[in-house]
Amino acid sequence: MPDGNFRLPRFSSRCLPVWQRNAQVWIKLSGPSLVGNFGEPLFYLLALGYGLGSFIGEVDGLPYIVFLATGIVCSSAMNTATFECLYSAYTRMKVQETWAAMMAAPLNLDDIVLGEVLWAGTKSLISATAILLVASLLGLVHGWQAVGVLPVAFLLGCCFGAMALVVTAISPSYDFFLYYFTLVITPMFLLSGVFFPLDSVPEMVQVGVQLLPLYHIVEVVRPLMTGRPLEGVFGHLLVPLLYGLAAIWLALGLLRRRLLI
């Protein structure tokens, strides 16, 4: 029997109230959230950038703290979106039943999934804005073309938000998320060129990392922040875009199977 749950998503502007609801909750609780958005990257940059950087010197022709700042914009945005669509989305689905309340109104799962994904993109955008501000105050950003990082961070957030929703859709509990963090997010975080250039790892690993979205985002964000020429932007952005679209389709199918029974 063909599974009708995996039919293509049907998107509309009905996703906006879902996004708006999440945004309003965030505004209410934005104090601790913003401290995290500014504080964590700041301490990373100070400790690793200056501390470790004084031993390392230059990496890839850049002072280590600059190299690191360009990577941390990406990894923080990834973590923000991932957390949002794992723990927070799971809470809205299972604990608070926010989604059930929405589905009794004229909203369906298609709207909810798209709203959540756009919200994850927005949270990544907020995170990237905070780090760009910190980095530019520390004098680590080269020129106004760095603003181009913001739409890229939004795309990154949507991509990782959608991927996290796939995990949420099949998760029996919060504990299950550790698998995804340990087996997917952490290796990507460590190997995608955030802390050191990709060419310092074995070729097999390089090929694997290039199949994953974070590396390609870093490859676009680094030249945007350092004023270097952009190369192969289209190809690099295509990877997270495809991951994001495929993950939206898969997450929606799995959620329909889980919730519309």
Partner 1 sequence: MPDFVVNARNLRKIYAGEVVVDDIQLNIRRGECFGLLGPNGAGKTTTLRMLLGLTPPDGGELNVLGFEIPRQARQMHARMGLVPQGDNLDPDFSVAQNLRTYARYFGIPRSELDQRLPQLLAFASLEHKADAGISTLSGGMKRRLTMARALVNDPELVVLDEPTTGLDPQARQLIWQRLRELLAQGKSLILTTHYMDEAQRLCDRLAIMDNGHILVEESPAELICQHIEPQVIEVFGPGVEQWGVDCGRNLAQRLEQVGETLFCYAEDEQPVLASLHQFPQLQFIHRRANLEDVFLKLTGKELRDA
Tell me how far the alpha carbon of residue 23 is from its chain's centroid. 17
Q: 172 φ, ψ to 5°?
A: -80, -20
| Contact between 204 and partner 1 per CB under 8 A | no
- Concatenated DSSP letters of 207-233: HHHHTSHHHHHHHHHHHHHHTPPP-SH
Q: Which is nearer to partner 1, 246 or 259 (CB)?
A: 259
Residue 261 touching partner 1 (CB under 8 A): yes
In contact, 112 and 234? CB cutoff 8 Å: no
Evaluate whether 99 touches 92 at the Cβ level (below 8 Å): yes
* Residue type present at position 108: N
Interface with partner 1 by CB under 8 A: which range of 51-59, 99-107, 202-210, 228-236?
A: 99-107
- Tell me if 29 contacts partner 1 by CB under 8 A: yes
Q: Which of 100, 147, 170, 205 binds partner 1 (CB under 8 A)?
A: 100
Residue closer to partner 1 (CB basis): 17 or 197: 17
Tell me, by CB under 8 A, how many residues bind partner 1: 23
Among 6, 7, 24, 227, binds partner 1 (CB under 8 A): 24
Residue 211 within binding range of partner 1, rule CB under 8 A: no
107 three-class SS: coil
Contact between 73 and partner 1 per CB under 8 A: no
- Where helices occur in 84-197 by DSSP H, the ranges are 89-90, 98-104, 109-137, 149-170, 177-180, 186-191
25 counts as binding partner 1 under rule CB under 8 A: yes
Rule CB under 8 A: choose which of 85, 102, 117, 165 binds partner 1: 102
- The residues that touch partner 1, with contacts defined as CB under 8 A, are 14, 17, 20-21, 24-25, 28-29, 96-98, 100-108, 259-261
